[in-house]
Amino acid sequence: MKPIRQPSQTERTAMIRSARNALRQNQLAQTVRVLAPLLTASSPDAEALYIAGLVAERQLRPDDAMRLARRSLATMPHPDTLRLLASSLRKAGDLEEAARVCDQLLEVRPNSKEALAIKSDALQESGELDTAESLLDKLDTAFRAEGQEPPPSVIETRARLRIQQGRFDEAVALSDSILDRANTAPALARLAYFTKAKACDRAGRYSEAFDAASHANQIGNPVFDPAAYESSITNIIEQWSQERLDNFPRSACKSEVPVFIAGLPRSGTSLVDQIIDAHPNAAGVGELQSILRFAGEIGRSYDPAKEPPDCFGKFSHDDSWLSAAEGYLREIHQLAPAADRIVNKAIGNDIVVGMFARLFPQTRVIHLRRDPRDVAISCYMGAFNTAVFPWTARIEWVIKAWEQSERLMAHWRNIIDVPILELRYEELVSNPESQIPNLLDFLGLDLSSECFEFYRRKRRVRTLSHDQVSKPMYTSSVGRYKHYESRLASLAFPRYEHGA
């Protein structure tokens, strides 16, 4: 965007005040609109960048929050911006860097509770459990020194730590201590219920686990219309028909580097991402959202009343797709400069496989499949953001999402001309000796023993499954649904055969 006139100091003060007021009322779009003149001015405004970073943080866009925080810090260092950067790094899975930034914050704000909390979380997620606990102890001491008891958020962090330590009953007790409080905020209560569900599940207390997850999923009253969702998938299939696709724009990008994993969350996407990332000539960038934002731009420009390519509006020409493809390549090469294959496992990739094929004609797609009963239980107990993924809040909604994902992937397989590898989670974990070589062969990569020891690598893990993909492959999660069969008995699941 072309820089505009630098606002006067009086104008700037008014804009910052208005933006902060909008942010306090959680009017995020209004906050960004007010800040626009400061964000696009010729000289960067550190405070405006910081506030925009807070908006990105609330919108669960840690990569954007990191970028804005770094730009703000480059203009004017401030402890609050360091806090934003550290928190965003942790949420993005860059745990080592998050801990380092926390140390910077502690240098300028000794005993900063926020720094101690973020660093403890980061160390916990990277498996440094003893150090994480010592930081939680310091945090408790800091609160008590001020005559306060540790708040529920700190107790919840310790409960999650107890799960990783295998002390499940203690984790349940800590979660209950949060839930027993009369004034626990709904968002924290939801998190505590999910933590309790996970602890009970690990302890074999399955009925309690399901009940806790049910309580969590009721909070916020998530809304999902299965019929409307099915209709939206039907619309995609009709708009991306073979006849129309032949006239869609097509990028001239020749790169084989981008690879995309498609499939519902908890289908093994994180596991495959880790396996590929372990290869010396490949890398995983986790759930990178930038390419999905391009899909959103296309959707806003798309006019179904027009014939292709005119239906894409400003994206009706091949060059605009090539430009988007080249922008994505630059982004992933910055993250993994030497990799021959770079895999993206973002949730929602299955919706836009057709777009991937037009952006990157030489790409490869890996379709992860897993028993819908296991997917349903894992999503239901997975603490997903139901504002973004409302279908995870009810078992029957997960079933609908699974069915429609399968339907859409079958459509893509029939009409696009890029290779799609179907990989079943159950076969991968039970027979990695054959499945991993097949996967690498599909990607055009030589066999590497490092892919069998993916869990030994330290890397960014942008997923709720971070504590699982840091362990050797295991089969115990196959048939997980059997622990909950009595709760699933009234539901009809799609047919699925592991060896089919």
Digits of tens for pLDDT over the chain (500 positions)?
455 678 899 999 999 999 999 999 999 999 999 999 999 888 889 999 999 999 999 988 888 899 999 999 999 999 999 999 999 999 988 899 999 999 999 999 998 999 999 999 999 998 899 999 999 999 999 999 999 999 999 999 999 999 999 999 999 999 999 999 988 999 999 999 999 999 999 999 999 999 999 999 999 999 999 999 999 999 999 999 999 999 999 999 999 999 999 999 999 999 999 999 999 999 998 887 788 888 999 999 999 999 999 999 999 999 999 999 999 999 999 989 999 999 999 999 999 999 999 999 999 999 999 999 999 999 999 999 888 899 999 999 999 999 999 999 999 999 999 999 999 999 999 999 999 999 999 999 999 999 999 988 755 555 555 555 567 787 888 999 999 999 999 999 999 987 54
Q: Which domains does the chain have, with CATH numbers?
A: 159-221 (no CATH), 231-487 (3.40.50.300)
Residue 405 corresponds to which tokens in the numbers above?
């994902």
- For residues 49, 50, 54, 56, the Cα torsion angle rounded to the nearest 10 degrees is 30
**Contact residues for 366 (Cβ-Cβ < 8 A; gap 6+):** 259, 260, 261, 262, 272, 343, 420, 421, 423, 439, 442
Which residue type occupies 489? A
Q: Which of 152, 214, 139 is nearest to 183 (CA)?
A: 152
State pTM to two decimals: 0.89
User: CA 257 to CA 271: how far, in whole Å?
Assistant: 20
Contact status, residue 52 vs residue 35, Cβ threshold 8 Å: yes
Phi, psi of 287 (to 5 degrees): -95, 65
Overall size of the chain counted in residues: 500
Q: What is the pLDDT of residue 458?
A: 59
Helix, strand, coil tally for the chain in percent (to 5): 60, 5, 35
Give the per-residue pLDDT at 493: 96
HSE toward the beta carbon, residue 440, CA cutoff 13 A? 23
Distance between CA atoms of 179 and 196, rounded to whole angstroms? 10
For residue 500, what pLDDT is reported? Answer: 43
Choose among 347, 362, 364, 368: nearest CA to 272.
368
